[in-house]
Amino acid sequence: MNSYLASILIFTGINLISVLGMFLLMGLTGLLSFGQVGFMAIGAYVTAISYMRFGLPFGAGLLLGVGVSLLVGLVIGTVTLKLRNDYFALATYGFAEVIKNVLIYFSGYTGGSMGVFGIPAIVTLPMVIVIFLAALVLCRNFKVSKLGRNSLAIRNDELAAKVMGINTFKQKLLVFLFSAVFGSVAGSLLAFSTYYIEPNMFNWSKSVELIVIVFFGGINSLTGVVFAGMALTLLPEILHFGAEWRMVIYTAIIIVTMIYRPTGLFGRWELSLSQILGWIKGRRKSAVGRGGQGA
Protein backbone atom coordinates (compact mmCIF):
# COMPACT_ATOMS: atom_id res chain seq x y z
CA MET A 1 0.00 0.00 0.00
CA ASN A 2 1.46 3.39 -0.87
CA SER A 3 2.15 5.79 1.96
CA TYR A 4 -0.20 8.51 0.72
CA LEU A 5 -3.18 6.17 0.85
CA ALA A 6 -2.03 4.84 4.22
CA SER A 7 -1.80 8.34 5.65
CA ILE A 8 -5.30 9.17 4.40
CA LEU A 9 -6.66 5.99 5.96
CA ILE A 10 -4.87 6.73 9.24
CA PHE A 11 -6.36 10.20 9.22
CA THR A 12 -9.82 8.78 8.49
CA GLY A 13 -9.50 6.24 11.29
CA ILE A 14 -8.47 8.89 13.79
CA ASN A 15 -11.34 11.11 12.68
CA LEU A 16 -13.75 8.20 13.10
CA ILE A 17 -12.59 7.60 16.67
CA SER A 18 -13.41 11.18 17.63
CA VAL A 19 -16.65 10.94 15.65
CA LEU A 20 -17.63 7.92 17.76
CA GLY A 21 -17.10 9.99 20.90
CA MET A 22 -19.34 12.67 19.47
CA PHE A 23 -21.92 10.03 18.54
CA LEU A 24 -22.16 8.88 22.16
CA LEU A 25 -22.50 12.44 23.37
CA MET A 26 -24.74 13.96 20.74
CA GLY A 27 -26.32 11.07 18.92
CA LEU A 28 -27.28 9.03 21.96
CA THR A 29 -27.59 11.59 24.72
CA GLY A 30 -28.50 14.72 22.78
CA LEU A 31 -25.74 16.83 24.26
CA LEU A 32 -24.27 19.24 21.74
CA SER A 33 -20.64 19.87 22.64
CA PHE A 34 -18.03 22.04 20.98
CA GLY A 35 -15.53 20.89 23.58
CA GLN A 36 -14.64 17.61 21.92
CA VAL A 37 -11.74 19.29 20.18
CA GLY A 38 -10.47 20.48 23.57
CA PHE A 39 -9.99 16.88 24.66
CA MET A 40 -8.27 16.10 21.39
CA ALA A 41 -5.89 18.96 22.13
CA ILE A 42 -5.26 17.67 25.66
CA GLY A 43 -4.56 14.16 24.40
CA ALA A 44 -2.28 15.40 21.62
CA TYR A 45 -0.26 17.80 23.76
CA VAL A 46 0.04 15.62 26.85
CA THR A 47 1.25 12.65 24.80
CA ALA A 48 3.57 14.73 22.63
CA ILE A 49 5.11 16.71 25.49
CA SER A 50 5.57 13.69 27.74
CA TYR A 51 7.27 11.87 24.85
CA MET A 52 9.46 14.74 23.64
CA ARG A 53 10.41 16.23 27.01
CA PHE A 54 10.24 13.42 29.51
CA GLY A 55 10.94 10.44 27.30
CA LEU A 56 7.72 8.68 28.24
CA PRO A 57 6.83 5.93 25.72
CA PHE A 58 3.92 6.61 23.36
CA GLY A 59 1.54 4.13 25.01
CA ALA A 60 2.14 5.54 28.49
CA GLY A 61 1.76 9.07 27.16
CA LEU A 62 -1.53 8.14 25.56
CA LEU A 63 -2.81 6.76 28.86
CA LEU A 64 -1.54 9.85 30.67
CA GLY A 65 -3.47 11.98 28.16
CA VAL A 66 -6.60 9.94 28.84
CA GLY A 67 -6.08 10.45 32.57
CA VAL A 68 -5.69 14.20 32.23
CA SER A 69 -8.72 14.35 29.94
CA LEU A 70 -10.79 12.42 32.46
CA LEU A 71 -9.80 14.81 35.23
CA VAL A 72 -10.52 17.89 33.14
CA GLY A 73 -13.73 16.32 31.85
CA LEU A 74 -14.85 15.60 35.40
CA VAL A 75 -14.38 19.21 36.41
CA ILE A 76 -15.91 20.72 33.24
CA GLY A 77 -18.76 18.19 33.19
CA THR A 78 -19.67 18.70 36.83
CA VAL A 79 -19.81 22.44 36.27
CA THR A 80 -21.67 22.55 32.96
CA LEU A 81 -23.91 19.49 32.70
CA LYS A 82 -26.60 20.92 34.91
CA LEU A 83 -27.23 23.71 32.42
CA ARG A 84 -29.77 23.84 29.61
CA ASN A 85 -28.56 22.15 26.44
CA ASP A 86 -27.75 25.30 24.49
CA TYR A 87 -25.88 26.80 27.46
CA PHE A 88 -23.96 23.58 27.82
CA ALA A 89 -23.03 23.87 24.14
CA LEU A 90 -21.76 27.38 24.66
CA ALA A 91 -19.90 26.54 27.85
CA THR A 92 -18.10 23.74 26.00
CA TYR A 93 -17.24 26.20 23.25
CA GLY A 94 -15.72 28.38 25.96
CA PHE A 95 -13.82 25.36 27.24
CA ALA A 96 -12.34 24.64 23.81
CA GLU A 97 -11.31 28.27 23.40
CA VAL A 98 -9.75 28.37 26.87
CA ILE A 99 -7.73 25.23 26.12
CA LYS A 100 -6.51 26.79 22.88
CA ASN A 101 -5.57 30.02 24.66
CA VAL A 102 -3.79 28.10 27.41
CA LEU A 103 -1.76 26.28 24.74
CA ILE A 104 -0.78 29.58 23.15
CA TYR A 105 -0.16 31.34 26.45
CA PHE A 106 2.02 28.81 28.27
CA SER A 107 4.51 28.66 25.44
CA GLY A 108 7.34 27.32 27.63
CA TYR A 109 6.02 23.79 27.32
CA THR A 110 3.63 23.96 24.38
CA GLY A 111 5.70 26.05 21.98
CA GLY A 112 2.96 28.69 21.90
CA SER A 113 1.29 29.27 18.56
CA MET A 114 4.23 27.56 16.84
CA GLY A 115 3.27 24.24 18.40
CA VAL A 116 5.37 21.14 18.96
CA PHE A 117 7.60 20.00 16.12
CA GLY A 118 9.41 16.82 15.18
CA ILE A 119 7.02 14.30 16.69
CA PRO A 120 7.94 10.87 15.29
CA ALA A 121 5.28 9.11 13.22
CA ILE A 122 4.86 6.12 15.50
CA VAL A 123 1.22 5.53 14.63
CA THR A 124 0.67 2.87 11.98
CA LEU A 125 -2.41 1.92 10.06
CA PRO A 126 -2.98 -1.44 11.82
CA MET A 127 -2.71 0.33 15.18
CA VAL A 128 -5.37 2.84 14.17
CA ILE A 129 -7.62 0.12 12.80
CA VAL A 130 -7.37 -1.94 15.99
CA ILE A 131 -8.12 1.05 18.21
CA PHE A 132 -10.97 2.11 15.94
CA LEU A 133 -12.53 -1.36 16.00
CA ALA A 134 -12.22 -1.49 19.79
CA ALA A 135 -13.90 1.91 20.01
CA LEU A 136 -16.62 0.77 17.61
CA VAL A 137 -17.39 -2.36 19.63
CA LEU A 138 -17.43 -0.28 22.82
CA CYS A 139 -19.85 2.19 21.24
CA ARG A 140 -22.09 -0.53 19.89
CA ASN A 141 -22.24 -2.26 23.27
CA PHE A 142 -22.85 1.05 24.97
CA LYS A 143 -25.76 1.74 22.63
CA VAL A 144 -27.53 -1.58 23.19
CA SER A 145 -26.84 -1.74 26.93
CA LYS A 146 -28.82 -0.23 29.76
CA LEU A 147 -26.52 2.79 29.64
CA GLY A 148 -27.44 3.44 26.02
CA ARG A 149 -31.14 3.19 26.76
CA ASN A 150 -30.74 5.61 29.67
CA SER A 151 -29.01 8.00 27.29
CA LEU A 152 -31.78 7.72 24.71
CA ALA A 153 -34.37 8.37 27.40
CA ILE A 154 -32.51 11.54 28.39
CA ARG A 155 -32.25 12.67 24.79
CA ASN A 156 -35.93 12.19 24.12
CA ASP A 157 -37.23 13.74 27.32
CA GLU A 158 -34.97 14.53 30.23
CA LEU A 159 -37.79 15.19 32.65
CA ALA A 160 -39.46 11.88 31.84
CA ALA A 161 -36.12 10.12 32.22
CA LYS A 162 -35.74 11.65 35.67
CA VAL A 163 -39.23 10.55 36.60
CA MET A 164 -38.36 7.01 35.54
CA GLY A 165 -35.59 7.06 38.11
CA ILE A 166 -32.58 7.70 35.90
CA ASN A 167 -29.93 9.82 37.55
CA THR A 168 -29.66 12.06 34.51
CA PHE A 169 -26.74 14.13 35.75
CA LYS A 170 -24.66 11.05 36.52
CA GLN A 171 -25.53 9.49 33.20
CA LYS A 172 -24.67 12.64 31.26
CA LEU A 173 -21.38 12.94 33.13
CA LEU A 174 -20.55 9.33 32.32
CA VAL A 175 -21.20 9.86 28.62
CA PHE A 176 -19.25 13.11 28.68
CA LEU A 177 -16.25 11.29 30.18
CA PHE A 178 -16.55 8.51 27.62
CA SER A 179 -16.48 11.02 24.79
CA ALA A 180 -13.54 12.81 26.45
CA VAL A 181 -11.57 9.57 26.40
CA PHE A 182 -12.40 8.99 22.72
CA GLY A 183 -11.35 12.56 21.90
CA SER A 184 -8.15 12.27 23.89
CA VAL A 185 -7.10 9.00 22.24
CA ALA A 186 -7.85 10.46 18.81
CA GLY A 187 -5.75 13.50 19.70
CA SER A 188 -2.78 11.37 20.82
CA LEU A 189 -2.92 9.34 17.61
CA LEU A 190 -3.17 12.50 15.56
CA ALA A 191 -0.08 14.01 17.20
CA PHE A 192 2.01 10.93 16.40
CA SER A 193 0.92 10.73 12.79
CA THR A 194 1.26 14.35 11.63
CA TYR A 195 4.83 15.20 12.85
CA TYR A 196 3.70 18.43 14.51
CA ILE A 197 0.80 19.89 16.44
CA GLU A 198 -0.21 23.49 16.89
CA PRO A 199 -3.14 25.15 18.71
CA ASN A 200 -4.93 26.10 15.48
CA MET A 201 -5.41 22.44 14.61
CA PHE A 202 -7.83 22.36 17.52
CA ASN A 203 -10.22 25.09 16.48
CA TRP A 204 -13.85 24.75 17.44
CA SER A 205 -14.69 24.30 13.75
CA LYS A 206 -13.16 20.83 14.16
CA SER A 207 -15.89 20.04 16.69
CA VAL A 208 -18.45 21.36 14.22
CA GLU A 209 -17.05 18.97 11.62
CA LEU A 210 -17.71 16.09 14.02
CA ILE A 211 -21.22 17.33 14.74
CA VAL A 212 -21.91 17.58 11.01
CA ILE A 213 -20.79 14.00 10.49
CA VAL A 214 -23.01 12.69 13.28
CA PHE A 215 -26.06 14.57 12.05
CA PHE A 216 -25.39 13.60 8.45
CA GLY A 217 -25.09 9.92 9.26
CA GLY A 218 -28.06 9.96 11.57
CA ILE A 219 -28.15 10.47 15.32
CA ASN A 220 -29.81 7.08 15.76
CA SER A 221 -27.53 5.03 13.58
CA LEU A 222 -24.00 4.03 14.52
CA THR A 223 -23.58 2.51 11.06
CA GLY A 224 -24.71 5.73 9.43
CA VAL A 225 -22.29 7.77 11.49
CA VAL A 226 -19.34 5.55 10.59
CA PHE A 227 -20.25 5.67 6.89
CA ALA A 228 -20.75 9.43 7.01
CA GLY A 229 -17.41 9.79 8.77
CA MET A 230 -15.63 7.76 6.11
CA ALA A 231 -17.38 9.53 3.24
CA LEU A 232 -16.90 13.06 4.53
CA THR A 233 -13.25 12.49 5.43
CA LEU A 234 -12.26 10.53 2.33
CA LEU A 235 -14.20 12.44 -0.34
CA PRO A 236 -12.46 15.81 0.08
CA GLU A 237 -9.10 14.01 0.06
CA ILE A 238 -9.94 12.17 -3.12
CA LEU A 239 -11.54 15.15 -4.85
CA HIS A 240 -8.87 17.57 -3.60
CA PHE A 241 -11.16 20.29 -2.37
CA GLY A 242 -9.63 23.43 -0.97
CA ALA A 243 -10.04 23.74 2.77
CA GLU A 244 -12.49 26.64 2.45
CA TRP A 245 -14.82 24.95 0.02
CA ARG A 246 -14.74 21.80 2.09
CA MET A 247 -16.30 23.62 5.02
CA VAL A 248 -18.80 25.39 2.74
CA ILE A 249 -19.93 22.02 1.42
CA TYR A 250 -19.96 20.45 4.90
CA THR A 251 -22.17 23.14 6.33
CA ALA A 252 -24.45 23.15 3.28
CA ILE A 253 -24.86 19.40 3.76
CA ILE A 254 -25.91 19.80 7.36
CA ILE A 255 -28.40 22.57 6.55
CA VAL A 256 -30.03 20.45 3.85
CA THR A 257 -30.00 17.40 6.15
CA MET A 258 -31.58 19.33 9.02
CA ILE A 259 -34.35 20.58 6.74
CA TYR A 260 -35.14 17.56 4.59
CA ARG A 261 -34.00 14.57 6.59
CA PRO A 262 -33.52 15.51 10.23
CA THR A 263 -33.02 11.86 11.21
CA GLY A 264 -29.87 11.73 9.08
CA LEU A 265 -29.01 9.72 6.02
CA PHE A 266 -29.37 6.31 7.64
CA GLY A 267 -32.27 7.03 9.98
CA ARG A 268 -32.45 4.21 12.51
CA TRP A 269 -30.93 1.57 10.29
CA GLU A 270 -28.09 -0.44 11.81
CA LEU A 271 -25.80 -2.97 10.24
CA SER A 272 -25.20 -5.89 12.55
CA LEU A 273 -22.64 -8.66 12.47
CA SER A 274 -25.32 -11.35 12.17
CA GLN A 275 -26.77 -9.50 9.18
CA ILE A 276 -23.41 -9.51 7.44
CA LEU A 277 -22.92 -13.19 8.23
CA GLY A 278 -26.44 -13.81 6.96
CA TRP A 279 -25.64 -12.12 3.65
CA ILE A 280 -22.43 -14.04 3.22
CA LYS A 281 -24.18 -17.33 4.00
CA GLY A 282 -27.06 -16.41 1.71
CA ARG A 283 -24.72 -15.65 -1.13
CA ARG A 284 -22.77 -18.84 -0.60
CA LYS A 285 -26.01 -20.84 -0.56
CA SER A 286 -27.26 -19.26 -3.75
CA ALA A 287 -23.84 -19.74 -5.32
CA VAL A 288 -23.96 -23.40 -4.34
CA GLY A 289 -27.51 -23.56 -5.63
CA ARG A 290 -26.57 -22.11 -8.98
CA GLY A 291 -23.51 -24.31 -9.15
CA GLY A 292 -25.72 -27.32 -8.50
CA GLN A 293 -28.06 -26.37 -11.31
CA GLY A 294 -25.18 -25.95 -13.69
CA ALA A 295 -23.79 -29.38 -12.93
The site for other proteins (CB under 8 A) is made up of: 30, 32, 79-80, 82-87, 89-91, 93-94, 97-98, 101, 105, 158-159, 205, 208, 211-212, 215, 242, 244-245, 247-248, 251-252, 254-255, 258-260, 262
Nearest residue (CB) to other proteins, 238 versus 244? 244
What whole-number distance in Å separates Cα of residue 253 and Cα of residue 215? 10
Would you say 208 and 22 are in contact if contact means Cβ atoms under 8 Å apart? no
Contact 67, 131 (CB under 8 A): no
Neighbour-count burial for 98-136, b at 16+ CB within 10 Å, e otherwise: ebbeebbeeeeebbeeebbeebeeebebebbeebbeebb
CB of 220 to other proteins, least distance (A): 13
Closest CA to 222 of 10, 27, 14: 27
Between residues 58 and 176, which has the closer beta carbon with respect to other proteins? 176
CB of 202 to other proteins, least distance (A): 16
| Closest to other proteins by CB, 61 or 218 | 218
| Distance in Å, CB of 210 to other proteins, minimum | 12
Distance CA 54, CA 77 (A): 30
| Least CB distance to other proteins at residue 1 (A) | 33
Distance, CA of 184 to chain centre? 10
Q: What whole-number distance in Å separates Cα of residue 260 and Cα of residue 256?
A: 6
Cβ at position 253, least distance to other proteins in Å: 9
Contact 244, 292 (CB under 8 A): no
Is the Cβ–Cβ distance between 265 and 216 less than 8 Å? Answer: yes
Q: Residue 120 or 262: which CB sits closer to other proteins?
A: 262
Between the CA of residue 274 and those of 146, 220, 266, what are the distances in Å?
21, 19, 19
The minimum distance between CB 89 and other proteins, in angstroms, equals 7
Q: Rank residues 244 and 291 by Cβ distance to other proteins and give the closer one.
A: 244
Name which of 15 and 207 has its Cβ closer to other proteins: 207
Q: Is 33 helix (H, G, I), strand (E, B) or coil?
A: coil
- Minimum CB–partner distance for residue 98 and other proteins (Å): 6
List the alpha helices (DSSP H) in 33-145. 36-52, 58-80, 85-105, 107-110, 125-144
Min CB(209)–other proteins separation in Å? 10
* Cβ distance to other proteins smaller for residue 84 or 146: 84
Closer to other proteins by CB, 190 or 212: give it: 212
The one-letter code for the residue type at 289 is: G
